[in-house]
Chains A and B, each alone.
Chain A
Amino acid sequence: MNTPLFVIYGVLLLGLTGVAEYKGWSWNRINQQRVLPKSIRDNPGAYRSSYGGYSRYIGGK
């Protein structure tokens, strides 16, 4: 890759990094945009998380 192309590539990469940082993007897997009824606040146990039912995990080193 010659230098002008590298400069363009680098500037685009820096720009993308800046946008990602400014917008607050993340690598993490987040399940979002589900709209919940307000009753969850009063009855949190009624909500079923997408990641629930983990207690089968036995752990251990």
Chain B
Amino acid sequence: MPAVQARSITCPNCGGPVQLRGFAHTLSVVCPQCHTVLDTSTPEVAILQKFQQKTQIQPTVPLGARGKFGNTAYEVIGFQIRQVQSGDDTYQWNEYLLFNPYHGFRSLTEYNGHWTFVEVQTALPEPAHARGRPAVRYGGKTYAAFDSMTAQTVYVLGEFPWQIRTGDSAACQDFIAPPMMLSSESTGGEITWSLAEYMAGSQIWQAFKLPGSPPPAYGVFANQPSPYGGNTGSAWRTWLWLNVALAAMLFLFMIMAPGRVAFSDHYSYPPGATRDRAFVTPSFQLAGRASNVELSIHTDLDNNWAYFNFALINNKTGQTFDFAREVSYYRDSDGSDGSRNNSVIIPSVPSGQYYLRVEPEMASGSPYMSYDLELRRNVPNYGFFGVAALLLLIPPVLTTFRKGSFEAARWRESDYSPATSLSGGEA
């Protein structure tokens, strides 16, 4: 911004000098010495309001500071604190008036470390509805109604293009489509619409080249963009593609690992058998790389149980895989329990010649049981794919949950019920 000569007047209350940076636009100014609000609309400077407060407040961004927003530099010429009374609670926020001689006025608002850059609009929005909630349409976007309030000015500093006084109040309404917020201010039959864009404190510090770091932002602000907004869609798309890849991998393993039968035979367990019913099967070949082996047991049990001790033994090395399986099946008029079949997957069995030691057990006095044993080499283990599919769900579900929590926190501050609220956006 080129250097410009600021006009100076004398405060009629304290006699101190008062600079005017807003040129002819300035209709009121606060004396920096005595804080009296002065009327500068006429050459004879009059007192609009005398300073009542005992404490002086220093704005975070000082008056006279210059900051660049986009390609335009603005100077802070005014500062006011506004407040809203909601029941027993009072909420206050800061508003900075910015001025550029060629681009006019803008505002910055700050609440709990959340900042917005505000520009007054000349066009009017159209009334609309967004999912059962009042809304307005403006510039091709739908803005959902967020809240309405009466804001009161409680502290002023600097100069303003209107005759400002502490105690001034305006009826305000906010409509949001994060990161944008459309607001109306109504005073004495005049309605002003302004469009605000959310800014992080770091952007303000960078724009004004302020020392140190901005204070942290607390809570979720009305038009604060959700950090998870764009992520949920892409997370679910990524999830879909990863599941396609998982399904393709499963299909590939089903082709590569058809589960060829290495051994199968039929056996029986006669009534009155002694406990020592151990036997061994003929040898069979487990070919290929070290991979799994599935042993399936199919019985004709009925209201009974059987227990099988197994040992898969390498003929040559004596290496043994020791395992056991129970089969039990019971039924009555109410239904059935258990199964006549069972299976077990033995992991990473090296290739070689093997035999199976089988030791079935049943309760004494059990009737005749016949059963089949089938050993298949290299079977797809669907459990891994099931677990992988479940684990793949965690990131998108987590992102969706966090987005939901963020939106719930946003709408808790609204006049509208969180249950029926949704943030505005492209319509």
Chain B hits for A37, CB < 8 A: 318
Interface residues of B in 279-306 (CB under 8 A from A): 279-280, 290-293, 303-305
Chain A hits for B346, CB < 8 A: 26, 28, 30, 32
Q: A3-B238, A25-B292, A59-B304 are in contact. Are A44 and B280 (CB under 8 A)?
A: yes
B191 within 8 A of A: no
Q: Please, which residue of chain B has its CB at the minimum distance from the CB of A50? A: B322
B246 CB contact (under 8 Å) in A14, A32, A51? A14
Q: Is the CB of B291 within 8 A of A35?
A: no
Would you give the 0/1 interface string for A18-40, flagging 1 where the beta carbon is closer than 8 Å to chain B? 10111111111111111111101
CA distance A22 to B391 in the complex (A): 19
Q: A6-B238, A44-B359, A57-B305 are in contact. Are A23 and B291 (CB under 8 A)?
A: yes
Q: Is the CB of B291 within 8 A of A22?
A: yes
Stretch at the interface among B174-182, B196-204, B392-400: B392-400
B275 within 8 A of A: yes
Q: Is the CB of A13 within 8 A of B388?
A: yes
Chain B hits for A11, CB < 8 A: 242
Q: Is the CB of B392 within 8 A of A13?
A: yes
Q: Is the CB of B323 within 8 A of A51?
A: yes
Q: Is the CB of A47 within 8 A of B357?
A: yes
A19 to chain B, nearest CB (A): 10
Chain A hits for B361, CB < 8 A: 54-55
Interface residues of B in 347-386 (CB under 8 A from A): 347-349, 355, 357, 359, 361-364, 378, 380-381, 383-385
Chain A hits for B245, CB < 8 A: 10, 14
Q: Please, which residue of chain B has its CB at the minimum distance from the CB of A23? A: B348
B318 to chain A, nearest CB (A): 4
Q: Please, which residue of chain B has its CB at the minimum distance from the CB of A31? A: B322
Q: Is the CB of A26 within 8 A of B345?
A: yes
Q: Is the CB of B349 within 8 A of A57?
A: no
Which of A14, A27, A28, A47 gathers the greatest number of chain B CB atoms within 10 Å?
Answer: A28
Interface residues of A in 40-61 (CB under 8 A from B): 40-41, 44-45, 47, 49-52, 54-55, 57-61
Chain A hits for B398, CB < 8 A: 1
B360 to chain A, nearest CB (A): 10
CA distance A13 to B322 in the complex (A): 30
Q: A17-B249, A61-B337 are in contact. Are A24 and B378 (CB under 8 A)?
A: yes
Q: Is the CB of B328 within 8 A of A10?
A: no
CA distance A6 to B411 in the complex (A): 28
CA distance A51 to B83 in the complex (A): 76
B367 to chain A, nearest CB (A): 13
Q: Please, which residue of chain A has its CB at the minimum distance from the CB of B385? A: A17
B413 within 8 A of A: no
Q: Is the CB of B322 within 8 A of A34?
A: yes
Chain B hits for A45, CB < 8 A: 276, 278
CA distance A56 to B376 in the complex (A): 31
Q: A29-B323, A32-B320, A44-B357 are in contact. Are A57 and B348 (CB under 8 A)?
A: no
CA distance A52 to B310 in the complex (A): 10
Chain B hits for A6, CB < 8 A: 235, 238-239, 395-396
CA distance A61 to B349 in the complex (A): 36
CA distance A10 to B406 in the complex (A): 25
CA distance A34 to B357 in the complex (A): 14
Would you give the 0/1 interface string for B319-355, flagging 1 where the beta carbon is closer than 8 Å to chain A? 1111110101011100001100000111111000001
Q: Which residues of A contact B (CB under 8 A)?
A: 1-3, 5-7, 9-11, 13-14, 16-18, 20-38, 40-41, 44-45, 47, 49-52, 54-55, 57-61
Interface CB pairs A-B, < 8 A, 5: A17-B249, A25-B384, A34-B322, A55-B363, A59-B363
* Other contacts beyond A6-B239, A11-B242: 18, CB < 8 A: A1-B399, A3-B235, A6-B235, A10-B242, A13-B391, A20-B381, A24-B347, A26-B346, A26-B381, A32-B320, A37-B318, A41-B355, A49-B324, A54-B307, A57-B305, A57-B307, A61-B331, A61-B338
Q: Which 6 A-B pairs have the closest CB atoms?
A: A24-B292, A51-B324, A61-B330, A24-B291, A26-B347, A59-B305
